[in-house]
Amino acid sequence: MLYFEDLTPGLSFATASITLSEQDIHAFAKQYDPQYFHIDNVRAEQSVFAGLAASGWQTSSVTMKLVVESEFGRSVANGLIGMGVDKMRWPRPTRAGDTLQACVEVLSGKRSSTRPEYGVVKLRWVTRNQHQEEVMSLESAIWVALRHP
């Protein structure tokens, strides 16, 4: 189990990888981001993406799955309780057939002033495709239980 005290700045964890199909991209978009460049392969060619692109929200949500199921995600004492996300960027789109993998790095930790049994840990997530190109990055703050409150 990983507690607040264990998450020292600089520690990093890799996730497994996942491949997104064209069907996955269409299905997410229909439910959460129904814009033509995420759904219609032909019209998407004429868009700013020059081809079918996954919703940025899908790239982020798929990354959440990878992080939750990683050794890191399964080891954090109380689960991944997010307080919020900053600096989320999608420097290039995820394409059908892309295989995504993420890396989580501990940026900093601070004991909570309001809840003495918890600390707040800042993480940086970076998601890359099979060409090692960044498709998403963000900074996330999570609550983590102290081993010795």
Q: Does 34 participate in binding a copy of itself (rule CB under 8 A)?
A: yes
**Residue in 21, 29, 42, 24 with CA at minimum distance from that of residue 98:** 21
Q: Does 16 participate in binding a copy of itself (rule CB under 8 A)?
A: no
Looking up tokens 């989580």 gives 104
Q: Give CA–CA dist 39/18, Å, rounded.
A: 20
Phi, psi for 15 (deg, rounded to 5): -100, 175
Exactly one of 11, 17, 40, 56 binds a copy of itself (CB under 8 A); that residue is 56
Candidates 8-16, 65-73, 95-103, 121-129 — which segment interacts with a copy of itself by CB under 8 A?
65-73
Give min distance, CB of 5 to a copy of itself, in A: 19
Total residues interacting with a copy of itself, rule: CB under 8 A: 33
Scanning residues 66 to 105, which ones bind a copy of itself (CB under 8 A)? 68-69, 78-90
Q: Give CA–CA dist 57/103, Å, rounded.
A: 18
Q: Does 33 participate in binding a copy of itself (rule CB under 8 A)?
A: yes
Question: Are the C-beta atoms of 123 and 105 separated by less than 8 Å?
Answer: yes
Q: What is the DSSP letter of 117?
A: T
**Which residue ranges make up the site for a copy of itself (CB under 8 A)?**
31-37, 47-48, 55-57, 60-62, 64-65, 68-69, 78-90, 143
